[in-house]
A and B are shown apart, each in its own frame.
Chain A
Amino acid sequence: MEAAGARNRDARGRAEKSPPESRKVYMDYNATTPLEPEVIEAMTEAMREAWGNPSSSYPAGRKAKEIINTARENVAKMIGGQPQDVIFTSGGTESNNLVIQSMVKHFHKVHAANGDTGGHPSLVDGALPHIITCTVEHDSIRLPLEHLGEERKAEVTFVPVSKVNGQVEAEDILAAVRPATCLVTIMLANNETGVVMPVPEISRRVRALNQQRAAGGLPEVLMHTDAAQALGKQHVDVRDLGVDFLTIVGHKFYGPRIGALYVRGLGEHTPLYPMLFGGGQERNFRPGTENTPMIAGLGKAAELVAENCDAYEAHMRGVRDYLEERLAAEFGERLHLNSQFPGAKRLPNTCNFSIQGPQLQGRALLAQCRTLLASVGAACHSELGDRPSPVLLSCGVPVDVARNAIRLSVGRSSTRAEVDLIVQDLKQAVARLEGQA
């Protein structure tokens, strides 16, 4: 994306003789981000110099081990946690699945049909573990939970988000807690609307509830948050969030396509049951010979976030706010900002909007754009065709508006100049679609 800046200067140097149609402006950073140059450097260096097996005792192996340890420290620092509470995984999907599987296994182990480990008949005898989540989660949370529900291995409550502010309300979460509840998992920020969920408040109330539950012999309710979209865009600190588990996804903060899982007091306070069994790496919580180059990249990306998050946030917010101003100036009454909910905090980079009109379905409009690269929602939902996003519908956006939705998500190198270009592009695309009536 540095190329964008270079092309900018280049285009100006030739005084607008190069047609704007030939350049592309990427505004789909919520789908994925490019790698920062320093990240690529860290990765290639690891590939060249640290290819040894990190479990080997000779220098080549130890060098790889050091790189992994440093990366672990950097990831921990980014989220305000301890290095020993961080394990590396293949990505957000694995981390999310790991938490869910682990909690189900833990529930069965502790509250098996013949009573809990204390020898007393368990209050939740025979019950299935219960998990609470919300209706706008990413597929890697929603689908494992639905699957468990179908297989009768767990019961799941999908708490609907508020149609007023697009958030899930702490009240509704607490109201859904049952004796057999063992996990609450709520995403920190939604990928389509950018709405930030009130995770600290939910954690606080769950923790208060746990004190009462402990007295009554009920299982503790643990908190998980999928922080994929929030990292690198706003401050994420596990101490402020009060969570027991947190999912980290590299390719959303200019890192490589792996992830990590934070577990508070891993192995001590909070249990984690592995999905994979093997060579003992990651203290047996996630065995497999470590992917040193990717881990090095993740560590470097995390280091950049820890150092620069405020600057990134301020920049993205500035560009996104300018984008919304220009869209409003250009489309006036026809514009509907789907990601602006009164009273809700949102990510600084996301703008989900619809331009009203019967021919302006999101995908059709994007197809007409010659400069803009964006999406109508989650990248993994591209097979939905013209059906409107279920996430937007859950947030109370009317069907005909949701059908026209486009999601723009700006990044660290997005500029106001790019905003001007894509607003022009959208204007021309709308004209073309409506002219073809």
Chain B
Amino acid sequence: MAAAGAGRLRRAASALLLRPPRLPARELSAPARLYHKKVVDHYENPRNVGSLDKTSKNVGTGLVGAPACGDVMKLQIQVDEKGRIVDARFKTFGCGSAIASSSLATEWVKGKTVEEALTIKNTDIAKELCLPPVKLHCSMLAEDAIKAALADYKLKQEPKAGEAEKK
């Protein structure tokens, strides 16, 4: 699913590299609209792409977004008996910033307790990846994905587990 935007991004990235810079004078003052290298890095070297066993009691699954809106993120966490996140995986359908945001999210939740992971804010993700203003919503979705995964995990720990899993 991370590959969904792959072809387009790769072609676009290479198109930007091949085209000689010939910006008209008035546009020199405007910031160039390129993907930040941190975003490209997460894109070309994605961390933690994949799935965990969603039926396992120790796995929390967060599925957020909607295909109609263009962004879907699935983020899964595996928690040990002491409440610490020992593994995380993601699959994202969306733009480069969305992929990078969710990839970073999986990196950050690893090693944190369930409570600590709740403190991860979209603004931190956006700052770390230097997301441009028009892509801030991607970091918001990643924060939602973390919270959804944590909520799903918590629900499974309750005695009456087996409820329909939350989206």
Contacts and interface: CB of A to CB of B under 8 A. Distances in A.
Interface stretch (B51-59, B76-84, B129-137, B155-163): B129-137
Contacts of A427: 133
Contacts of A413: 68
Interface in B63-82: 68-71
A329 B8 CA distance: 32
Given A12-B95, A413-B68, A419 B12 contact: no
Interface of B: 5, 8-9, 12-13, 15-16, 33, 35, 68-71, 95, 123, 133-137, 140-141
Interface SS of chain B: helix
A420 B137 contact: yes
B136 A326 contact: yes
B137 A15 contact: no
Contacts of A16: 33
B70 A322 contact: no
Contacts of B35: 15
Interface in A403-431: 413, 415-417, 419-421, 423-424, 427
Nearest to A421: B134
A15 B70 contact: no
A58 to B, nearest CB: 43
A9 interface: yes
B43 to A, nearest CB: 12
B8 to A, nearest CB: 5
A15 B13 contact: yes
Nearest to B35: A15
Given A12-B5, A20-B134, A419-B137, 15 more contacts: A8-B69, A15-B8, A15-B15, A15-B35, A322-B137, A415-B70, A415-B137, A416-B69, A417-B69, A417-B137, A420-B135, A420-B136, A424-B133, A424-B134, A427-B133
Nearest to B144: A318
A170 to B, nearest CB: 38
A14 B13 CA distance: 10
A5 B69 contact: yes
Interface string A14-47: 1111001000000000000000000000000000
Interface in A301-333: 322, 326, 329
Nearest to B8: A13
A426 to B, nearest CB: 11
Nearest to A19: B33
Interface residues of A, number: 23
B162 to A, nearest CB: 23
21 contacts: A5-B69, A8-B69, A8-B70, A12-B5, A12-B95, A14-B12, A15-B12, A15-B35, A17-B12, A20-B134, A329-B123, A413-B68, A415-B69, A415-B70, A415-B137, A416-B137, A416-B141, A417-B70, A421-B134, A423-B133, A424-B133
B140 A417 contact: no
Contacts of B71: 417
Contacts of B134: 20, 417, 420-421, 424
B133 A322 contact: no
Contacts of B141: 416
A422 B123 CA distance: 18
Interface of A: 5, 8-9, 12-17, 20, 322, 326, 329, 413, 415-417, 419-421, 423-424, 427
B68 A416 contact: no
Contacts of B5: 12
B37 to A, nearest CB: 15
Contacts of A424: 133-134
A8 B71 CA distance: 10
Most A C-beta atoms less than 10 A away, residue of B16, B68, B133, B134? B134
B12 A420 contact: no
Nearest to B19: A17
Nearest to A13: B8
A5 B123 CA distance: 25
Nearest to B135: A420
A416 B71 CA distance: 10
Contacts of A322: 137, 140
A183 B140 CA distance: 48
Nearest to B68: A5
- Sorted nearest first, the 4 A-B pairs with minimum C-beta distance are A15-B12, A416-B137, A415-B69, A12-B95
B8 A12 contact: yes
A417 B94 CA distance: 12
Contacts of B140: 322, 416
Given A17-B12, A416-B140, A12 B70 contact: yes
